[in-house]
Amino acid sequence: MKRVYLDHASATPVRREVIEAMLPYFDQHFGNPSMVYDIGSNVKEVMEEQRLKIAKLIGANAEEIIFTSSGAEANNLAIKGVAFARQKKGKHIIISAIEHHSVLNSARFFERMDFEVTFLQVDEHGLVDPERLSKAITPETILVSVMHANNEIGTIEPISELSAICREKGIVFHTDAVATVGNIPVDVNELNVDLLSFSGISMGAPKGVGALYFRDNLRLMPLIHGGIQEKGRRGGTENIPGIVGFGKAAEIISKELSGKVARTRNLRDFLIKGIEERLEFVKLTGHPDKRLPGHASFCVEAIEGEALIFMLSQDGIYANTGSACASKALKTSPVLVAIGVRPVLAQGSVVFTLNGNQAVEELEYVLEKFQGDVAKLRALSPIWMGKAATR
């Protein structure tokens, strides 16, 4: 049986070069980077070299990078760190309605602390309208957070337009770029953001390591209090093997990215076209053009997404049915609700995320099995039987 992995939005395989770079930092170079003796100071020097590699990947300076344990922690640090630091200036936060749960729930946390939170609605493709953002801003607004691209529908947001509105009004702007860094070119200066979260999980680095870019001189309240690590913005001994892996992955992807984008986009378009030609009553979700190069997401009428994902896995095909953090929630995706997908159709969500290394023959296999599995599920569906009777 073939094995085709198409869930790179939730996890990517760690590259062999990354593993080899990490290995010495488990048993040979194991020192604590906070120590002043050579075993520690040598490790600290290596850590700072990785910080520079990671910063270069997004057009930042090394001193503007804070290492975290994940993209979710970076999002929490951005939202909570700014809100706590600026609460005397105002208590109004604006986020989009399709943010990752780590942003959504961080904002809801402040609702319980007498902050006002505005959840910006999006259009049917998942895009935030800059004019809508402008109208939502009040004198109390201290922070806006809109993700760079949505990991469930693939839509890429007009971040530079949104951030320009906030910069003009002196409002801090954050973007969750976990889905984009490593998949498309990202430059914090072009995006004009104050804070940007990203993670090693989406670029062939190990799980358990992420980073937050913060514009120099931005005041940020730490969430984890401890020693002087990360210039006092995040306490706790740094994950040196993970950081080394993150740095190596950033170094590799910076050289490969342009070719990867074009290759992945072609494969994505092949998959989308194949599904739309083979199956009726299938809706492509997200923006048709302004989407991640490796992202193909659909809602399939008259089936249950969880059942389809299970059947595909029995064929050796691995996909998802929404965000990795929400796939076990057994409720309608808030992202699909926000873009106006009917709840009964939203239950048939399926998301394919490619990394550009798939062969066309593998995707032909996916198309064949996808068509067959959907047909099997529809044959058992009373919704489909009712639709068939009226056609």
Q: Which of 325, 326, 337, 383 is catalytic?
A: 325
Task: Mark whether 166 is an active-site residue.
Answer: no
Q: Sheet holding 141-145: strands in order across? A: 65-68, 210-214, 195-199, 172-176, 141-145, 92-96, 116-120
3-state secondary structure of 300: strand
Residue pointed to by tokens 């320009």:
164
Largest CA distance in the chain: 78
Task: Enumerate long-range contacts of 218-227, CB under 8 Å, 24 or more apart.
Answer: 218/82, 218/172, 218/194, 219/82, 219/85, 219/86, 220/77, 220/78, 220/81, 220/82, 220/85, 221/80, 221/81, 221/82, 221/84, 221/85, 222/77, 222/81, 223/73, 223/76, 223/77, 223/80, 223/81, 227/34
DSSP calls for 189-235: HHHT-SEEEEEGGGTTPPSS-EEEEE-TT-----SS--SSGGGGTS-
- d(CA 154, CA 150) in angstroms, rounded, equals 5
Catalytically active residues are 325
